[in-house]
């Protein structure tokens, strides 16, 4: 096992089990945990990916420090890059008719860059606004190549509740809390029924949103705040539409805590 994997295992076991030796269920997979908060993760650093990002610094320095000794050593050992650069593009296959337009725009992009004689090319790191390499921006590019999803991360993490409650709501929003339905998916032999209404199966959305007992609790609170409310489809939708109903007043702060308090109580 690589060192990165060993460290990751320690992190995972600590996250789900604390310092106890007992094996606990790992509710959310590590890849998800390593994505940023706004994508529904915890923003924990992925060791292997972060290592790659750190190594990126050396690639950057390689081209920025042509005179330094370490680069000369690498050049002499592995053969360095030539100093002149010219457009000599070879495609791996021939271009199809319908791709001509794409090739044309690619070539015009290349030739639209004015090359000033006597001026040396320089590298520019586009993910950072200053154009200089930053490990952090490389790591972000590596870890989330896709645009952030629609996870209601502000509703989950910005409410003024104890962090274990926010953590619980996060796992609930991902549909990972250990309801009887989820326990059965993990091959635990257990009857799938809701212990509150004693009629339906205990899925995350039933237990926290749709169960008649839960709904009574929700309506009680909504009446206090004078709200008419149609229950959304699931926990994520509920959290998504909960935000921004009231401003930053005291009542607004309490309002933001309502989903956390109710779901924690129901659980
Ligand atoms: Zn129920």
- Read off the pLDDT of residues 82-111 as tens digits, 9 standing for 90 and up: 554 557 778 888 888 888 888 888 888 887
Residue 18 lies in a domain: yes
Residue 108 lies in a domain: no
CB contact burial 242-254 (16+ within 10 A = b; e otherwise): beeeeeeeeeeeb
Q: Tell me how far the alpha carbon of residue 244 lies from the centroid of ligand 1, in angstroms.
A: 29
Q: Tell me how far the alpha carbon of residue 215 lies from the centroid of ligand 1, in angstroms.
A: 9
Residue 49 lies in a domain: yes
Same domain, 183 and 52: no
Same domain, 1 and 127: yes
Q: Tell me how far the alpha carbon of residue 218 lies from the centroid of ligand 1, in angstroms.
A: 14
Q: Tell me how far the alpha carbon of residue 235 lies from the centroid of ligand 1, in angstroms.
A: 15
Same domain, 126 and 230: no
Same domain, 136 and 167: no
Number of domains in the chain: 2
Same domain, 142 and 183: no
Q: Tell me how far the alpha carbon of residue 180 lies from the centroid of ligand 1, in angstroms.
A: 12
Of 149, 164, 195, the residue at which a domain comes to its end is 149
Whether the Cβ atoms of residue 35 and residue 41 lie closer than 8 Å to each other: yes
* Burial class (CB within 10 angstroms; exposed 0-12, middle 13-18, buried 19+) of 144: middle
Q: Tell me how far the alpha carbon of residue 58 lies from the centroid of ligand 1, in angstroms.
A: 57
Residue 115 lies in a domain: no
pTM of the complete model: 0.72
Residues of the chain with pLDDT under 50: 84
Same domain, 141 and 172: no
Q: Tell me how far the alpha carbon of residue 198 lies from the centroid of ligand 1, in angstroms.
A: 6
Same domain, 60 and 183: no
Summarize pLDDT for 50-75 with one digit per residue, the tens.
988 999 888 888 878 888 888 888 88
| Residue 265: per-residue pLDDT | 92
Of 149, 169, 191, the residue at which a domain comes to its end is 149
Same domain, 169 and 230: yes
Q: CB count, 10 Å around CB of 40?
A: 21
Q: Tell me how far the alpha carbon of residue 92 lies from the centroid of ligand 1, in angstroms.
A: 59
Calpha distance 265→267 (Å, rounded): 5
Q: Tell me how far the alpha carbon of residue 260 lies from the centroid of ligand 1, in angstroms.
A: 19
Q: Tell me how far the alpha carbon of residue 266 lies from the centroid of ligand 1, in angstroms.
A: 10
Q: Tell me how far the alpha carbon of residue 28 lies from the centroid of ligand 1, in angstroms.
A: 24
* Burial class (CB within 10 angstroms; exposed 0-12, middle 13-18, buried 19+) of 21: exposed
Residue 173 lies in a domain: yes
Of 149, 164, 188, the residue at which a domain comes to its end is 149
Summarize pLDDT for 197-211 with one digit per residue, the tens.
888 788 899 999 999
Same domain, 136 and 168: no
Residue 168 lies in a domain: yes
| Residue 247: per-residue pLDDT | 61
**What are the tokens at 3?**
């060192």
Residue 261 lies in a domain: yes
Q: Which of 196, 148, 208 is nearest to 172 (CA)?
A: 208
Ligand 1 ion local residues (Cβ < 5 A)? 194, 196-197, 211
Same domain, 15 and 129: yes
R_g of the chain computed on alpha carbons: 27
Same domain, 218 and 241: yes
* Burial class (CB within 10 angstroms; exposed 0-12, middle 13-18, buried 19+) of 98: exposed
Calpha distance 218→214 (Å, rounded): 6
Same domain, 191 and 222: yes
The domain of 137 spans 1-79+121-149
**Those residues with Cβ within 8 angstroms of residue 120's Cβ, 6 or more apart along the chain or in another chain:** none
């Amino acid at each position: 096992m690589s060192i990165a994997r060993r460290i990751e295992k320690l992190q995972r076991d600590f996250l789900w089990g604390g310092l106890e030796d007992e094996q606990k269920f790992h509710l959310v997979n590590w890849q998800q945990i390593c994505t940023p908060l706004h994508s529904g993760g915890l923003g924990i650093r992925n060791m292997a990916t972060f290592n790659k990002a750190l190594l990126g610094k050396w690639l950057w320095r390689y081209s920025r420090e042509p005179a330094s000794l370490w680069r000369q050593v690498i050049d002499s050992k592995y053969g360095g890059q030539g100093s002149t650069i010219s457009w000599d593009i070879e495609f791996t296959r021939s271009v199809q008719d319908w791709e001509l337009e794409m090739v044309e725009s690619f070539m015009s992009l290349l030739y639209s860059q004015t090359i000033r004689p006597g001026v040396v090319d320089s590298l520019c790191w586009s993910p950072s606004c200053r154009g200089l390499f930053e490990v952090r921006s490389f790591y972000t590019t590596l870890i989330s190549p896709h645009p952030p999803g629609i996870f209601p991360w502000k509703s989950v993490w910005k409410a003024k509740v104890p962090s274990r409650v926010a953590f619980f709501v996060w796992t609930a929003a991902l549909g990972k809390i250990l309801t009887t339905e989820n326990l059965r998916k993990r091959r635990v032999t257990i009857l799938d029924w809701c212990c509150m209404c004693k009629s339906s199966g205990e899925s995350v959305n039933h237990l926290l949103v749709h169960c008649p007992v839960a709904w009574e609790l929700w309506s009680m609170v909504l009446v206090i705040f004078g709200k008419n409310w149609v229950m959304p489809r699931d926990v994520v939708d509920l959290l998504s539409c909960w935000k921004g109903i009231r401003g930053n007043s005291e009542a607004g702060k309490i309002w933001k805590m309502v989903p956390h308090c109710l779901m924690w109580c129901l659980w």
